[in-house]
Structure 1
């Protein structure tokens, strides 16, 4: 694969300042609305100092999530990336995901970052593809857990009504279908991915991009073939690292809620899992506006003091979103500076 083209784009092309502004603005406005409608005078007097160290635990868990993701990237690169490089890739990926619509995501930026860290474009593409597969396998495992738990717990809040129940059902079906197709294509029959991509891009609205997609589909088949030859032990270890990063993400809302006041722990975790799946289809940049609303719908009924709902949303987003944006901007700035150094060296 020595003839692969290098990813010569600029880091700024993978995210938009407009999307960054929209993402932050939607998040702030939604949190302000939640706080306005749920705030109760004197609510902070009910905070228990013995619970507040839990917020420190939440921060540690958030950092652990980044560490597990970096470990996964490093492992998938077969240690061609060192720890610092893997961490930069994850932070840049997180940042771009947080400020772009879910249909775009952070994969293009992650691919660019890995090429700037010394990987070939094909190797970076294979890592992205395998990472997506691992996430889909996790979703495929999580959905039966939620369905079984639903027999004993009200995992999907009654407040979301019939429309919400149907939407969650369709989401489960969609995720399982996608996971099945991707797993079959990567692990069993890589040629199937190419065929599916070609069929999809024969649709009228997508036909004009069919020539470009033809080339990308060929590359995708090659990447999938590389991954299919990996031993089962490779898949299991990578899946473990991916699972641990997801468990950190799932645990975070529950830890934040329990840092403020008592709540049913198991139900909170199950609802956190369900709402994280629902986050996947929020169309706004980084899910802003929608994820705060979903937090209120899923976790709000478990918070006995209404005045704490806005506080919980605020703290959770600071730890899970705003810190990620800050760290991610630092990582992305590093790649911008690297690009400037390359241009100056060429001159």
Structure 2
């Protein structure tokens, strides 16, 4: 980690503490302690295991993709990838640091740069696609509930969907209308020249975007040829997301809240995750806690239980991955074996 990353990590921990302190300002300390002592720890353990399974399945996706690329990747090192991704997603705006961090971790393990880029591109495409599919289903199931009871967040849900949908449409355009997409990008950057005094700056940006489009197009050709692999990693990613999205349900059970619908709770969590992606602050801090409190107040009427639920949810879905990522970062990986070389 760079010095700046370490500073941001400390700041995020301080911010998290400040947000929790602010959240409990109107909550009786005795009530909060009482709710903690009454926790059903078996359900809390299930929630943690669910998060760990999500990490494991993401690692399995990486391993399956690397195997196709001709690399024998130990599961121990594969698990490092999503954990390091969690750490850098958690300390960078819009989770922008996760992709470069994963690439660095793969290169550390001796994976060829071309293979590593290929694997991460395919993983990204599938992950984004499955998120959009989950979100569409969740909108169909839960949007009416949200729009009726929580009007203030309805616009954020739609905006979050629009952002992710645009990403998918852009990827589809590159896959099937490559030349047309290149022309659109060229036209866009031509307009940018009027806003920059130095021509070299926007030309440099255009070159970077062109390179990324070319890389993705080349990988998309391989994706279309490997439809069986595509189906396999899509199913793995769906199950991975399911274990992640179901965590609030187990937290509610741990708090003794049993009169809740599994599908509705899971749906609400999908919508919350989409809102978080809109906030530029690392980890969506502030926005994540606010969204959770607003939405889950319909399931939990007790204020101290609501704050405790929010804290537990944040610890499991955000801070757990970050702390495990810090450990994974210092673990020295084994050098990967390439099956092509063995032959």
Q: Tell me the TM-score range normalised by the shorter chain.
A: 0.7 to 0.9
In structure 1, the gaps of 5 or more residues are 1-10, 339-347
In structure 2, the gaps of 5 or more residues are 196-200, 335-343
Report if aligned partners of 2:61, 2:237 keep a CA contact under 8 Å in 1: yes
Instruction: State the match for 2:231 in structure 1.
Output: 236
1:19-74, Cα deviation, whole Å (9 max, x unpaired): 21232222221111112234463354356858331001111111101111101111
3-state DSSP class of the match of 1:248? helix
Measured in 1, the distance between the counterparts of 2:172 and 2:46 equals 35
TM-score, normalised on structure 2?
0.83
Counterpart selection for 1:207 from 199, 202, 217: 202
Displacement after TM superposition at 1:197 (Å): 4.9
Measured in 2, the distance between the counterparts of 1:201 and 1:258 equals 52
Instruction: State the match for 2:150 in structure 1.
Output: 159
Question: More deviation in 65-74 or 113-122?
Answer: 113-122
Counterpart selection for 1:12 from 2, 20, 24: 2
Instruction: State the match for 1:56 in structure 2.
Output: 45
Q: What pairs up with 1:26-37 in 2 under 5 angstroms?
A: 26-37=15-26
Displacement after TM superposition at 1:311 (Å): 1.0
1:221 aligns with 2:212: no
Report if aligned partners of 1:136, 1:175 keep a CA contact under 8 Å in 2: yes
Measured in 2, the distance between the counterparts of 1:288 and 1:127 equals 30
Measured in 2, the distance between the counterparts of 1:159 and 1:332 equals 40
1:328 aligns with 2:325: yes
Q: What pairs up with 1:132-151 in 2 under 5 angstroms?
A: 132-150=124-142
Report if aligned partners of 1:157, 1:298 keep a CA contact under 8 Å in 2: no
**Distance change (3 Å), C-alpha of 1:76 and 1:193:** farther
TM-score, normalised on structure 1?
0.82
Q: What pairs up with 1:38-57 in 2 under 5 angstroms?
A: 38-39=27-28, 41-45=30-34, 49=38, 51-57=40-46
Instruction: State the match for 2:198 in structure 1.
Output: none
Report if aligned partners of 2:160, 2:277 keep a CA contact under 8 Å in 1: no
Aligned residues: 321
